[in-house]
Amino acid sequence: MIEFDPPKPILQQQYVLKTVAENMMRPVSRYFDEHEHEIPYDYIQFMHQAMRATGAGSLAPSEEKKEGEKEKRPPIGYQMLAHMLEMLAWGDVGMYLVTPGGGLGAAAVQAAGTPEQRQKFLARFAGEKPTFAAMCMTEPHAGSDTAAIRTTAVLDPQTNEWVINGQKIFVTAGDKSLTPREEFGKGFIVVWATIDPSAGRAGMRAFVVEMGTPGVKVVKLEKKMGIRVSDTAAIVLDNVRVPFDHILGSPTVEKETEKGFKRAMLTFDSTRPLVAATGVGVARAALEFLKEKLAENGIQIRYGLPRQKLTNIEREVIDMEIMLRSAWLMVIKAVWMADNRMPNALASSMSKVKAGDVVTRITQRAVELLGPLGYSREYLLEKWFRDAKITDIYEGTGQINRLIVARQILGYTGAELR
């Protein structure tokens, strides 16, 4: 079996996070599943203070070394995030999604913003209060077809402001990012809109819309099958005005439009492996629970025997362990590439596809093998089964990511292979 020892900082982080998962997440996991959208303030405040103290959770890549300066250690920022999110998802993937920080919104600023914009918008996550950000891309009529986005951004030459109109749906943490609360800092959303509807994807740009901006409103919170503690919002933008420099990237719009969609994809290239890591965490939780219950009933997995001498349950458990390990190795490869500033679109989408398949298959089979016990709400296994499916849906469905993998391998463009 291939295995890699994580660097010491990651091992130290994992020890702390496991304590959090076991003592702050698992004990309240069922409660927040049954009280959808209730905010776990104790967990949020604890994690915010812990992340401020340790500097964990930053989406900023490691700084490049200066000329003549020795590299102290290889960059591991995204690798640390992957290990962090896998452990938190092992505790409760819904609560992981309400961990304070920038999430996809910050990732979009990091991928598409200028150094000045990154400093302006990302620094607030290290402030006194927990702060949230969200990314708004999906629209009611344009799920995976991003070229069909109708939200518009028009420059008002008199005020030099962007005027944004449109509607966004399925916005993770949209409510916490936009609705003022005394406990939270000033959040924002990153809205993908078109500045040239005739240009398709080439006309897409990203805009930062801050909490408290007139005209932006959360109109609905989705009721979901899984990850129920996480808010998933529908947002309406009605003549929302934002400053000119809130367009991510160069403020010079000319010659920049072609890069808009590519910037969006850079965001996903860095975050899809992190989503995959959360799927691995849920799958690991289910598999460990299955093995624990089998052991309680006198069933031990006899590793090392020829396959034909194993029972069917033993073979199934070993197969699930193989699936889990292969998914995790694909995640590690993708985040290692991100840390080392290597193009990772292929590895990123492959890790997302693999983790989405693996977590769905492992949680479903664990429920089936345990029968009524697995189906019972007395244990968290049925919840993990419900939570698992989202891995295959958000940040690009399994079908979309398979298309990306095929295009990368075969050398086709999006227009050539749809």
- For residue 40, the one-letter residue type is P
pLDDT recorded at residue 263? 65
Q: How far apart are CA 392 and CA 401, in angstroms?
A: 9
pTM: 0.91
- Beta pairing class for 133-136 and 216-221: unpaired
Q: Are 265 and 345 in contact (CB under 8 A)?
A: yes
pLDDT at 4: 67
Q: How far apart are CA 10 and CA 82, in angstroms?
A: 10
Instruction: Choose among 81, 83, 82, 94: nearest CA to 43.
Output: 94
Question: 């989705």: which residue's tokens?
Answer: 222
Among candidates 252, 240, 270, 258, which has minimal Cα distance to 114?
Answer: 252
| Cα three-residue angle 399-400-404, rounded to 5 degrees | 120
Instruction: Name, in order, each residue with C-beta under 8 angstroms of 76's C-beta and a sequence gap of 6 or more.
Output: 7, 9, 10, 62, 339
Q: What is the dihedral of CA 133, 137, 141, 143, to 10 degrees?
A: -100
CATH 4.10.520.10 fits 129-254, yes or no: no
C-alpha count within 13 angstroms, C-beta hemisphere, residue 241: 7
Element (H or E) spanning 266, and its range?
helix 260-296
- Tokens representing 285? 């939780």
Residues 6+ apart with CB under 8 A from 186: 124, 131, 210, 211, 212
- In this structure, are residues 179 and 221 in contact, taking their beta carbons and an 8 Å threshold? no
The beta strands (E) that lie in 271-396 are given as: none
Query: What residues act catalytically?
Result: 395
Question: Which amino acid makes up residue 200?
Answer: G
Q: Which residues contact 138 (CB under 8 A, 6 or more apart)?
A: 168, 169, 170, 171
What does the DSSP assignment read for 11-66?
HHHHHHHHHHIIIIIGGGHHHHHHSTT---HHHHHHHHHHHHHHTTT--SPPPPPP
Residue extents of the structural domains in the chain: 129-254, 262-410
Strands 152-156 and 216-221: unpaired
> Rounded to whole angstroms, how far apart are CA atoms 47 and 96?
10
Q: How far apart are CA 104 and CA 190, in angstroms?
A: 9
Q: Which run of H or E residues covers position 134? A: strand 133-136
pLDDT value, residue 77: 87
Cβ-proximal residues to 236 (8 Å cutoff; 6+ apart), any chain: 166, 167, 216, 217, 219
b/e map 81-95, b = 16+ CB within 10 Å: bbbbbbbbbbbbbbb
Residue pLDDT tens, the chain, 418 long:
455 678 888 888 899 999 999 999 999 999 999 999 999 999 999 999 988 887 654 444 444 444 555 555 568 888 999 999 999 999 999 999 999 988 889 988 988 889 999 999 999 999 999 999 999 999 998 766 777 789 999 999 999 999 999 999 999 999 999 999 999 999 999 999 999 888 877 888 999 999 999 999 999 999 999 999 999 999 999 999 999 999 998 765 544 555 656 666 677 888 999 999 999 999 999 999 999 999 999 999 999 999 999 999 999 999 999 999 999 999 999 999 999 989 999 999 999 999 999 999 999 999 999 999 999 999 999 999 999 999 999 988 999 999 999 999 999 987 788 8
Residue-level pLDDT at 59: 42
Domain 262-410, CATH 3.40.640.10 — does that match? no
The H-assigned helical ranges of 97-152 are 103-112, 115-122
